[in-house]
Structure 1
């Protein structure tokens, strides 16, 4: 195990003893543990849901915080599960992981009493591997464009329809704001670190221009095409021009920090950032708008990468039925509604997109419904257990282009060759 993972694992599991959530009557119950992310309000909202279940059932829940980086989190999970460790009963897993981790999880269809039928069919299908429902949908995601409404109004600009328009509008407002004394203003921030988040961003650029999904539905490598090249060529102009050099090491929270401090015009991020941008202590509260990400040119399309997280029960759990009951509670309509209102986490139950309370808290949920249900999927199903290597090659190529270590055409040619070698004997 790598030293960094050792430290992360040790810190996470050390928290088990101190993180128990239970009712006074829990003495007769059992103890289960759940891994939760900690991006934004995620950890606290997870704790609240787990506490409510504990009080209702008389069981105890240990909440384990895991790395924010999905790349680091998957590596940690793989170490735990490969060892058959029962330290974590319920795993929060990314939408692209069911095929990778399925062998380690129980079939939840035997425990949900048909509740899965209320969730988006495509996500349930994504979470079904070899006929087994290995995870329940918890919340879904798609990349969105956040913008400063006040700055656009002040400078007579409109929400950009294309990536080219975003580039020009970002430059114009950035320069004007700096001339007015805000030397920290940047036009655009996003997730530019070499990790899974950059795969999501770069796939949005490529798909917006009509460049496909890296690997098509039949498993063919398609990334080296004129449309993908146009996307990479435009992105190559951003760093140091409308985006800070530091964006090359930004994940979600770094980008949000710059935007929420008032130092960026546009930001690409997930829906969770809305609730934080509109919080009482936010310096930009009341001045934030949300839209679909721009098209890639006039003939392109608005697109966002499909994200989202699921809950799975380890087959090494000492209490699988109790753990499955926790999953059923946390993925229920009532709990998903609470999470949507308090944290802007997108429900996976379609009916909640018509709920007045949910829409009052998140007005863009209704306007951008099509963005959420038609988001572009990463090619994890086509590439199976090879997906991690595919994504690693893709985000490294994108990072090299952004950092100007490679010309876009050369980066795509090398990426195509590497992926073709990888797929030579099938994914």
Structure 2
């Protein structure tokens, strides 16, 4: 089952790389590389993925004794993963070779000098056939510091027994939900509104769909233009239209899934992990549920949906850089991305994989996912993203209290402080 973008981040102050380094460096001793009988051991630090050991075994067989990959499982929670990686990298731990990085961390780790750059033929191989959106998350200052392993986008899930055609815009979805409510049918639009990363993802998608920007292309200036203000208007209108669940401002991914499965919703905005979960837990409902592209802002203008996923980076402190790059390339190649998509539900970053016949059953919504990925939105690309996310989630919550222009101005000021490493985070 696909992980819901590792978005279940509790709201807490996220420490910057420098702060974590100062706080945690002292009590930690660097670990050795731990080679096995002269064969280099390549330690892969990666999130929980049920069948990735099979990929590791295949790559070890292909290596023919040049190296042996060992899968080291990171904690489930994204914040805990990041803290463990930052702590050990700050200590220049040589026992870390390949790093599984949430797409929002790559720039932060690259700016701290913790990642080796992918260059030459290695870079060409990582870029070949890779979708542009996921690839952009692996770059920093025009250089490639990771190879995209898997990606993710949210879809619109809707009850085909309640609506004949899915809504194409937020205004249309709100109107359809209100009409269903007036008719006494299930009507709610279920999605994530709690004060955490999931709310930032929702807002970022609305901003991109409105043609707006949160920060500039250089990642140094907070913008919050008219598109960003309009996104706040849509989010506030949605939150006050009487069509959300009563717990909207406290809802994260899995709660949204459960609310929709209970029959409360006519629409759900969520990641593809809801599809296999619904088939198992609510098969009768699953027969009525269809999917479509995430709704846009303006009629005739498609949405631009925020992507998630994981990249593979090579630690600056590895004692085996050549073997680590080769191992990372093997783990994320097209054949293994197909295996992981079919068996673990993580959408591929290599476009050709979507056309593979085996993908049809596991990913019946693959064409819609690919359509969104080809015109996807990334979260603000900045080494300070963790701080920006904390600021935005606090000011967006609860969405019903948003005052579009006033909130945009406050977010602009607070985001600029985060970019400039000023101020106290909420």
Which bracket does the TM-score occupy, shorter chain normalised?
Answer: 0.7 to 0.9
**For each residue in 1:7-27, what CA deviation from the matched residue of structure 2 results, as whole angstroms up to 9, or x when unmatched?**
xx9xxxxxxxxxxxxxxxx98
Equivalence for 1:229:
229
1:209–1:301 Cα contact (<8 Å) kept: no
2:123–2:144 Cα contact (<8 Å) kept: no
> In the superposition, relative to structure 1, how do residues 372 and 236 fare at CA in structure 2: closer, same or farther (>3 Å)?
same
CA distance in 2, matches of 1:420, 1:113: 33
| Aligned pairs (5 A) from 1:156-305 | 156-173=163-180, 187-210=188-211, 212-217=212-217, 219-225=220-226, 227-239=227-239, 241-279=242-280, 284-298=285-299, 300-305=301-306
CA distance in 2, matches of 1:252, 1:134: 29
SS of residue paired to 2:247:
helix
1:276–1:282 Cα contact (<8 Å) kept: no
Q: Structure 1 residue 95 and structure 2 residue 91: aligned?
A: no
Aligned mate of 1:136, from 134, 141, 147: 147
Equivalence for 2:9:
none
CA distance in 2, matches of 1:276, 1:111: 40
SS of residue paired to 1:341:
helix
Shift of 1:144: 1.8
> In the superposition, relative to structure 1, how do residues 260 and 54 fare at CA in structure 2: closer, same or farther (>3 Å)?
farther
Shift of 1:302: 1.5
> In the superposition, relative to structure 1, how do residues 161 and 4 fare at CA in structure 2: closer, same or farther (>3 Å)?
closer
State TM-score, norm by structure 1: 0.77
CA distance in 2, matches of 1:301, 1:164: 14
CA distance in 1, matches of 2:313, 2:77: 18
> In the superposition, relative to structure 1, how do residues 247 and 66 fare at CA in structure 2: closer, same or farther (>3 Å)?
farther
1:138–1:310 Cα contact (<8 Å) kept: yes
Equivalence for 1:35:
45
2:188–2:267 Cα contact (<8 Å) kept: yes
CA distance in 2, matches of 1:34, 1:175: 54
Shift of 1:175: 6.5
> In the superposition, relative to structure 1, how do residues 121 and 242 fare at CA in structure 2: closer, same or farther (>3 Å)?
closer
Shift of 1:88: 4.0
Q: Structure 1 residue 49 and structure 2 residue 55: aligned?
A: yes
> In the superposition, relative to structure 1, how do residues 424 and 323 fare at CA in structure 2: closer, same or farther (>3 Å)?
closer
Shift of 1:92: 1.4
SS of residue paired to 1:395:
helix
1:187–1:264 Cα contact (<8 Å) kept: yes
Equivalence for 2:73:
64
CA distance in 1, matches of 2:414, 2:13: 29
> In the superposition, relative to structure 1, how do residues 65 and 228 fare at CA in structure 2: closer, same or farther (>3 Å)?
same
Query: Any runs of at least 4 consecutive aligned residues in structure 1 with deviations exceeding 6 A, and if so which?
Result: 2-6
Q: Which moved more, 1:273-282 or 1:319-328?
A: 273-282
Pairs aligned (count) = 387
Shift of 1:195: 2.4
1:35–1:90 Cα contact (<8 Å) kept: yes
State the Cα RMSD in Å.
3.7
Equivalence for 2:384:
386
Aligned mate of 1:104, from 114, 124, 131: 114
> In the superposition, relative to structure 1, how do residues 302 and 121 fare at CA in structure 2: closer, same or farther (>3 Å)?
closer
Shift of 1:263: 3.8
CA distance in 1, matches of 2:316, 2:255: 35
CA distance in 2, matches of 1:111, 1:323: 15
CA distance in 1, matches of 2:101, 2:399: 30
Shift of 1:294: 0.8
> In the superposition, relative to structure 1, how do residues 3 and 233 fare at CA in structure 2: closer, same or farther (>3 Å)?
closer
SS of residue paired to 1:44:
coil
Shift of 1:172: 4.1
Equivalence for 1:115:
125
State TM-score, norm by structure 2: 0.77
Equivalence for 2:5:
none
SS of residue paired to 1:356:
coil
CA distance in 2, matches of 1:73, 1:128: 21
